[in-house]
């Protein structure tokens, strides 16, 4: 382990090359066919037991020389529906699809970590499961779980990294407890009665009702929920109307409800009840009808204190100082939460925000990019946390 940094340095060109290849060839959830095949062949060449699962997911198993526990390391494969505007020499070749969240870096880091960990096979007590998950943006973790990713062997611990531009390059964000929000998505259809804008009394205007609903829903987080509990109700889309002089027949609204609650299941249901009560009240008052659909996404991501201690220990050796460690939580959703609800887990953030390198754009932005100098930190953290957990 004394030469680990040197080992990673010798593989850094390969690490960056892998990341750039994935970045140039992004694929949406459950369509990561090229990405999946590259990962499969890479792990196979390392001598691991490899299988495909959940359509385009890949799992590689490294068995140590001695019997012991099993640790799971996870990376996500999918890109998002975003037109890239970075101007990079390795910009996306797939129109309207982009790695705008750092998953390309996650894949590269875990592949290179696997290559290094194979070299330590004779010194490993137990097993390492390398899980490359499809469709993170649409909750693919649950599909992997339903298809048995947590069995044969069952992990005793799970770790995952997210490259994160809101954190400065060279720093690492680590926290115990709930670190990323639970997420419920919703689709709302408001149904009125079409008509002429010159005769509004003969129609029922769903756009007016929609504007009232959007405004009134915000009162939940300011008037009906403990202000110490984080909650964010956001409207992501609104569609309605076909002409400037036509009163629309219906309006479609879509959005997200994010929250970090102590008693999640109980308080979530109370929140959703309040949400629909307001919608029903406005619709009744304005004589429109509605259809509301909640789309469960993921629960809160919970970090186990013991697993976080392994991360903190590894971070001191990786970043050479505990001054690089920051407490960090956010209201983004992350479906690693499904693993964290079933296995003692640690999910943490490696900062990749660098103003000088233009890697300070937010995630899901068309100019999103990562500071490639931070990829080596992810490799080292994967290696150190896995070996420390299994051999101690």
364 is in an annotated binding site: yes
Q: Is 363 marked as binding a ligand?
A: no
Measured in whole angstroms, how far is the alpha carbon of residue 275 from the centre of its chain?
25
Residue 137 assigned to a binding site: yes
Contact between 56 and 30 (Cβ < 8 Å): yes
Pairing relation of β-strands 66-76 and 125-133?
Answer: parallel
How many residues are recorded in the chain?
Answer: 392
The answer to whether the beta carbons of residues 108 and 18 sit under 8 Å apart is yes
Helix (H) / strand (E) containing 214: helix 206-217
| Distance (Å, whole) CA 143 – CA 66 | 31
Q: Burial code of 273-311, b = ≥16 C-beta within 10 A, e = fewer?
A: ebbeebbeebbeebebebebeeeebbbbbbbbeebbebb
- 204 three-class SS: strand
Sign of the Cα torsion 16, 18, 22, 24 reads positive
SS3 120: coil
Is the N-terminal amide bond of 177 cis, ω within 30° of 0? no
> Which are the contacts of 300, defined by CB distance < 8 A and separation ≥ 6?
178, 180, 181, 182, 259, 260, 261, 264, 337
**Beta-strand relationship, 125-133 and 157-168:** unpaired
Q: CB under 8 Å to 166, separation ≥6 — which residues?
A: 330, 351, 353, 362
**Of residues 222, 210, 19, 58, the one with CA closest to residue 140:** 58
Q: Which of 105, 88, 74 is nearest to 351 (CA)?
A: 105
Identify whether the C-beta of residue 200 lies closer than 8 Å to the C-beta of residue 247: yes
Question: How far is 48 from 31, CA to CA, in rounded Å?
Answer: 24
Annotated binding-site residues for Mn(2+) read 101, 103, 137, 162, 364
Annotated binding-site residues read 101, 103, 137, 162, 364
């Amino acid at each position: 382990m004394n030469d680990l940094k040197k080992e990673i340095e010798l593989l850094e060109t390969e690490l960056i090359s892998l990341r750039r290849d994935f970045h140039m060839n992004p694929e949406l959830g459950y369509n990561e066919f090229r990405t999946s095949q590259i990962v499969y062949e890479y792990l196979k060449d390392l001598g691991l037991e490899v299988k495909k699962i959940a359509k385009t997911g890949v799992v590689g198993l490294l068995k140590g020389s001695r019997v012991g526990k099993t640790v799971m390391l996870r990376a996500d494969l999918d890109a998002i529906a975003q037109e890239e505007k970075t101007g990079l020499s390795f910009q996306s070749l797939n129109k309207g699809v982009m790695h705008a969240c750092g998953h390309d870096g996650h894949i590269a880091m875990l592949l290179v970590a696997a290559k290094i960990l194979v070299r330590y096979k004779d010194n490993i007590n137990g097993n390492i499961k390398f899980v490359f998950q499809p469709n993170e943006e649409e909750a693919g973790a649950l599909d992997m779980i339903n298809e048995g990713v947590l069995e044969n062997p069952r992990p005793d611990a799970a770790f995952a990294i997210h490259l994160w531009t809101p954190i400065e390059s060279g720093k690492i964000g680590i926290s115990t407890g709930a670190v990323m929000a639970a997420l419920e998505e919703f689709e709302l259809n408001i149904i009125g009665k079409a008509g002429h804008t010159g005769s509004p009394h003969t129609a029922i205007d769903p756009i007016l009702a929609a504007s009232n609903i959007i405004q009134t829903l915000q009162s939940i987080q300011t008037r009906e929920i403990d202000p110490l509990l984080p909650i964010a109700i956001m409207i992501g889309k609104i569609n309605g109307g076909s002409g400037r002089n036509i009163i629309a027949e219906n309006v479609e609204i879509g959005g997200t409800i994010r929250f970090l609650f102590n008693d999640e299941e109980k308080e979530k249901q109370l929140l959703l009840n309040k949400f629909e009560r307001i919608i029903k009240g406005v619709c009744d008052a304005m004589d429109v009808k509605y259809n509301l659909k909640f789309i469960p996404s993921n629960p809160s991501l919970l970090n186990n204190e013991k697993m976080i201690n392994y991360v903190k220990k590894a971070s001191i050796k990786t970043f050479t100082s505990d001054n690089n460690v920051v407490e960090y939580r956010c209201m983004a959703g992350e479906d690693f939460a499904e693993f964290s609800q079933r296995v003692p887990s640690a999910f943490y953030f490696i900062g990749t925000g660098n103003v000088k390198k233009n890697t300070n754009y937010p995630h899901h932005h068309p100019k999103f990019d990562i500071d490639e100098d931070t990829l080596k930190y992810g490799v080292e953290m994967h290696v150190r946390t896995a070996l420390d957990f299994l051999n101690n």
